[in-house]
Amino acid sequence: MKYLGNFKDWIQPELLERIVETQGDPTLLNQPLTWKGHPEHEAWYKTFCAAGYDKRNFYSNMYNQYTEDIKDFVITPPIDLGNKTWDWWFIKFLPGSVACMHYDPHTKIYQTAKRYWMAMMDYHPGHVFVSEGGQMMTNYKAGDLWTWDQADLIHGVVNLSMIPRVTFQFSTHETDDAYHKPKFYIDHNLD
Amino acid sequence: MKYIGNYIDQIPAGLIDAVLNNDGEITPVYQPEKWSGKPEWDAARIALENAGYPKLDYHFHQYTENTECIKPFLDQIDFKFNLPDLPPVHHWWIVKYMGGDMQPMHFDPHVIDTQDCQRYTMMLTDFEDGHIFVYDDVLLNNYKAGDLFLWPDAMCLHGAANISMNPRISLQMSFYNEISR
């Protein structure tokens, strides 16, 4: 992870409060359709099922541009992204919520994908965010922003604390980075 | 955690497989009956309740001297591992976390009823990403099966989870003096 600085002033307190108090889009960890169409995805989903995650009802609460609960807020990038295309989402992990070790599937689609992670709350013991190589993020402050060393970094989250955990995530890719997506699917005979 | 050494050679062959292949005692995260009549545990119980853990029906797997599948191995293991200066009272338990299993942040309630408690953990599976044991804002990582650690403080706040694709097993031990009442 490369630290890019603290952007606490970017955080809208009313937005954070809205996220904490609403459900957003409860999103199941088990999403079989997301992991179809590419051998790497399918191999990952096979291990996911073998570990029994497909039989659990883990979910997190997602908030993006289509989420009713936050539609009245305007979200702009906290840093200058130039002409790159960006996708953003907030995630709330309630106590006991789990996202097992995974890579973000969209990062395999765009060759120029870059991933960013911002804390919306100060670190709290039990807010566990780990990445491959036995790394854990601790002692961060609300507004701290990092970019990942590689967009498809294996990572996972569990909230073992007694309070919710909210983060802001975004990904960028070059606007003309389109060839990779069709190739990704054509190679595997899908639409 | 203070690393003490690797004692995998003193773990009887077959014990780890027995734990991996059997459910043991399925232990709920939320155990209100265990905490009843203990006012000093009320704060922890109420925090769990307020956070919503009772609704989640989570559990993990425990193995003790009364667990059938590991009984054949118990006379082959000295749980004191030749450690010097241990308080006399000893109790141990093995914990298995399957994918998605967890225990939220807590301190071990039995420690309240002890004096001079020394807490040890021996990992029985190699570390892999997603095997979570956190204490004092530290993730215990890169250990090998058989690695034994002494806790910095028996009462330290800690939590465990498994968000990997493979089970995580550890042996937990407490050595202490009884509180005279």
In order, the DSSP letters of B149-169 are EE-S-TT--EEEEE-SSS-EE
Taking CA A135 as the corner, what is the angle to CA B53 and CA A127, rounded to the nearest 5 degrees? 25
- Most A-contacting residue of B50, B55, B140, B165 (CB-CB within 10 A), to test interface: B165
- Note whether A100 contacts B130, CB cutoff 8 Å: yes
Distance CA B178, CA B156 (A): 19
In total, the C-beta contacts within 8 angstroms joining chain A to chain B are: 109
Is the ipTM here above 0.85?
Answer: yes
**C-alpha distances in Å from residue A43, one per residue of A50, A54, A108, A155:** 11, 14, 14, 17
Whether this model's pTM surpasses 0.90: yes
- Note whether A160 contacts B134, CB cutoff 8 Å: yes
Using an 8 Å CB-CB cutoff, list chain B residues near A160. 102-105, 132, 134, 159-161
Tell me whether A33 touches chain B (CB under 8 Å).
Answer: no
The answer to whether A124 touches A163, Cβ cutoff 8 Å, is yes
Q: What share of chain A is helix, strand, coil (3-state, %, to 5)?
A: 25, 30, 45
Tell me whether B12 touches chain A (CB under 8 Å).
Answer: no
The alpha-carbon gap from B54 to the nearest alpha carbon of chain A, in Å, equals 10
Tell me which residue of B90, B123, B175, B95 sits closest to B11, measured CA to CA.
B123
The answer to whether A164 touches A94, Cβ cutoff 8 Å, is yes
Residue of A nearest to B167 (CA): A51
Beta strands per DSSP E along chain B: 2-6, 25-28, 59-63, 89-97, 102-106, 114-123, 131-135, 138-139, 147-150, 158-162, 168-178
The alpha-carbon gap from B82 to the nearest alpha carbon of chain A, in Å, equals 30
The alpha-carbon gap from B140 to the nearest alpha carbon of chain A, in Å, equals 8
Tell me whether B141 touches chain A (CB under 8 Å).
Answer: yes
Per-residue pLDDT of chain A (191 residues; tens, 9 = 90+): 899 999 999 999 999 999 999 999 999 999 998 888 888 889 999 999 999 999 999 999 999 999 999 999 999 999 999 999 999 999 999 999 999 999 998 888 788 899 999 999 999 999 999 999 999 999 999 999 999 989 999 999 999 999 999 999 999 998 887 655 555 543 444 43
pLDDT below 50 — which residues of chain B? Answer: none
| Cα dihedral B50/B55/B59/B64 (nearest 10) | 60
Q: Which of B50, B98, B130 sits opposite A130 (nearest CB)?
A: B130
Separation of first and last alpha carbons in chain B? 31
